Structure 1
Amino acid sequence: MQVEQYRDALLLLMVSIAAVNDLAARRIPNRLLLVGLAGALVLHGLSGAPGAALLSALGGMSLGLGLFLPFYLVRGMAAGDVKMMAVVGFFTGPTAAFQIAVITWCAGGVMALLVVLLRSRVRLVLANIGHLLCGLLVPGTKLADTTLPQSAGSMPYGLAIALGTIAVLVTRYG
């Protein structure tokens, strides 16, 4: 088995544990992400071209963080989800991290729609979207001024990240 396969197996294990934990406790443990990050670092270091692998890993981490951080800043996502996507990017590099992010957004959108419909929160969601848009479009409005009066509910976004990661890994291995 090549180093890349070990890395993908470790990634699959990490996102699976994170998804289960996020479903059960609505938390993604920092310790899990740190262990995953350390494992990926070791495996990148053992690859045929460790310098290129580590550079790609840093690019993937930066991309994962950069793509998900804005959602955290507008309170649309928890910090654990952002950190998880950054670690996933460290495992995969920028190209796969971008693919995973796009699939994750699609899976997260479907999950959010299901949560809103099942909880009968459509009016509240529309009101919150209007509140956010008004706050963001009015000149001089600070990010703190866009605080929502009431949340439409949370969802375990770690599950969406895991689904996106698994989808990309499945396509890689057929």
Structure 2
Amino acid sequence: MPIDSWLQATLLLLVSIAAINDLATRRIPNRLLLAALACALVLRLLSPAPGAALLAALGGLGLGLALFLPLYLLRGMAAGDVKLMAVVGAFAGPYDVFSIAVLTWCAGGVMALLAALWRGRLKLALGNMVNMARTVLVPGMPAVAPQEKSSAGTIPYGVAIAIGTIIVLVRYHG
């Protein structure tokens, strides 16, 4: 089996385990992420062009981190989600991790809206999103984290990351 197939199969296993764990415990274990990162790097080094493959892994890891870190800093997601996206990037590379991130944001947005509707907190959720956008888009606007009591709730974002990843993997095989 070619290295790309091993990378994709291991990535599918990673996001599946992370999503299930996030649903069950609302945590994505660091041990899982470290083991997966080591696996991604070893598989990349075993490829026919290990230098280019390792650069792709590091580029994907960096881009995955860069795309999700601002959301963590705005308290829009947990650190485990950011680390998971970085590790997904090590498997997928920079081009695919960007596609995965965009699809993940779409899936996460739908999940968040459904959760806010379910909890009867849609107005609060939309207000929080406007405040986050204003912080990013308006120069000089101080970053103010929402108060605990003004949170519209959380979602297991590892599930959204799994959905985005699976959609990209299906694109290759289906």
TM-score range, shorter chain: over 0.9
Partner of residue 93, structure 2:
93
Shift of 1:129: 3.4
Partner of residue 112, structure 1:
112
Partner of residue 146, structure 2:
148
Give the whole-Å Cα distance in 1 for the aligned partners of 2:4 and 2:64: 19
Letter matched to residue 157 of structure 1: Y
Correspondence list, 1:120-159, <5 A: 120-132=120-132, 140-143=140-143, 146-149=144-147, 150-159=150-159
C-alpha spacing 1:132/1:38, structure 2 compared with 1 (3 Å): closer
Partner of residue 30, structure 2:
30
Partner of residue 43, structure 2:
43
Give the whole-Å Cα distance in 1 for the aligned partners of 2:160 and 2:66: 17
Shift of 1:7: 1.2
- Aligned to 1:66, the other structure's residue is in SS state helix
CA RMSD of aligned residues (A): 1.6
Give the whole-Å Cα distance in 1 for the aligned partners of 2:76 and 2:46: 37
Letter matched to residue 129 of structure 1: M
Report percent identity of matched pairs: 63
Question: Which residues of structure 2 form unaligned runs of 5+?
Answer: none
Q: Kindly indicate whether the alpha-carbon contact (under 8 Å) linking 2:99 and 2:168 is maintained by their aligned counterparts in 1.
A: yes
Q: Kindly indicate whether the alpha-carbon contact (under 8 Å) linking 2:22 and 2:28 is maintained by their aligned counterparts in 1.
A: yes
Letter matched to residue 147 of structure 1: A
Shift of 1:133: 5.1
- Aligned to 1:118, the other structure's residue is in SS state helix
Give the whole-Å Cα distance in 2 for the aligned partners of 1:167 and 1:135: 31
- Following TM superposition, where does structure 1 have runs of at least 4 consecutive aligned residues deviating by more than 2 angstroms? 126-143
Partner of residue 77, structure 1:
77
Give the whole-Å Cα distance in 1 for the aligned partners of 2:138 and 2:101: 29
Give the number of equivalent residue pairs. Answer: 172
Q: Kindly indicate whether the alpha-carbon contact (under 8 Å) linking 1:28 and 1:158 is maintained by their aligned counterparts in 2.
A: yes
Question: Which residues of structure 1 form unaligned runs of 5+?
Answer: none
Partner of residue 67, structure 2:
67
Q: Kindly indicate whether the alpha-carbon contact (under 8 Å) linking 1:132 and 1:148 is maintained by their aligned counterparts in 2.
A: no
- Aligned to 2:120, the other structure's residue is in SS state coil
Moved more, 126-135 or 20-29: 126-135
Letter matched to residue 104 of structure 1: T
Q: Kindly indicate whether the alpha-carbon contact (under 8 Å) linking 2:14 and 2:36 is maintained by their aligned counterparts in 1.
A: yes
C-alpha spacing 1:21/1:48, structure 2 compared with 1 (3 Å): same
Shift of 1:114: 0.5
Partner of residue 57, structure 2:
57
